[in-house]
């Protein structure tokens, strides 16, 4: 299906954590938002891939996604020069034909996060190559604007997207859908960043900090790709 905004996420939950309010805001404003998870998160320290698939479906409904799919690439094995992975990403761009593509920023610790940013960046151009074939056979598409949303490491943003209290509440509700990943009391459960007791408070603080700069209750941070934007009308900036 065609989408106004196409979001790429390395694993189920990354998009919700880092740009969930922006997704909720655009869905609320009537935009068609589709989300593509690159992997099933099968190497996650907690939960199973099947659990995360169910949680992802619940979170997508909370955010108001028009569609969500998973490319089934190998968790923990994304490589920036993997032509098979790039082909799958190109195919998704061609099928959805978005005006805007969002991807997790490569300024991150996780190797999958770093690799996906490079893969999506190259796929934007590759999607416009008419002689390049992809699995679905969807025709070439050009002109999508690519923006990177902040990952686990703080960025110096090129712009902030404000979020209302309602948008933020939907984001947090979507994150809480991932019960298998969040903090649970009990012996034998490995500690992860997202499973720390203060993780949701950290997400809240980051949102409020950016919101203060954006003049809104909350905000999320984005950076542009390396290409210089071309705008025929500055009112569209």
Q: What is the mean pLDDT of residues 204-225?
A: 96
Stretch among 114-118, 132-136, 144-148, 191-195 having the lowest mean pLDDT = 191-195
Q: What is the DSSP string of 222-233?
A: EEE-SSPP--S-
**Burial tier of 176 (Cβ tally within 10 Å: 0-12, 13-18, 19+):** middle
pLDDT of residue 45: 82
| Most confident option among 182-196, 200-214, 218-232 | 200-214
State mean pLDDT over 76-93.
97
Residue 91, phi then psi, degrees to nearest 5: -60, -40
Q: Which of 29-43, 48-62, 144-158, 176-190 has the lowest mean pLDDT?
A: 176-190
What percentage of residues in the chain have a pLDDT greater than 90? Answer: 85
pLDDT in tens, 14-53: 999 999 999 999 999 999 999 999 999 999 888 899 999 9
Q: Which CATH entry fits the domain spanning 5-226: 3.40.50.10420, 2.40.110.10, 3.90.76.10, 3.40.50.10320? A: 3.40.50.10320
CB 9 within 8 A of CB 2: no
pLDDT band at 193 (very low <50, low <70, confident <90, very high): confident
pLDDT of residue 235: 53
pLDDT number for residue 111:
96
- Residue among 191, 193, 168, 38 nearest 103 (CA): 38
194 falls in which pLDDT band (50, 70, 90)? confident
List phi, psi (to 5°) of 147.
Answer: -130, 145
pLDDT band, residue 229 (cuts 50/70/90): low
């Amino acid at each position: 299906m065609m989408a106004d905004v196409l979001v790429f996420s390395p694993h189920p939950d990354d998009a919700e954590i880092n740009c969930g309010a922006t997704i909720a805001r655009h869905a609320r404003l009537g935009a068609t938002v589709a989300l593509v998870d690159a992997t099933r998160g099968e190497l996650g320290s907690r939960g199973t891939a099947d659990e995360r698939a169910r949680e992802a479906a619940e979170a997508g409904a909370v955010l108001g996604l028009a569609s969500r799919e998973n490319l089934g690439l190998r968790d923990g094995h994304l490589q920036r020069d993997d032509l098979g992975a790039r082909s799958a990403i190109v195919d998704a761009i061609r099928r959805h034909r978005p005006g805007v593509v969002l991807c997790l920023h490569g300024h991150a610790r996780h190797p999958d996060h770093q690799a996906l940013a490079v893969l999506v960046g190259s796929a934007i151009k590759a999607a416009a190559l008419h002689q390049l074939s992809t699995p679905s056979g969807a025709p070439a598409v050009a002109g999508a604007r690519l923006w990177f949303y902040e990952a686990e490491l703080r960025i110096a943003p090129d712009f902030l997207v404000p979020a209302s209290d309602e948008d933020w509440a939907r984001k947090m509700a979507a994150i809480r859908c991932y019960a298998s990943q969040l903090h649970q009391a009990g012996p034998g459960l490995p500690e992860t960043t997202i499973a720390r007791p203060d993780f949701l408070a950290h997400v809240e603080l980051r949102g409020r900090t950016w919101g203060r700069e954006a003049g809104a209750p909350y905000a999320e941070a984005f950076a542009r790709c390396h290409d210089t934007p071309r705008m025929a009308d500055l009112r569209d900036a």
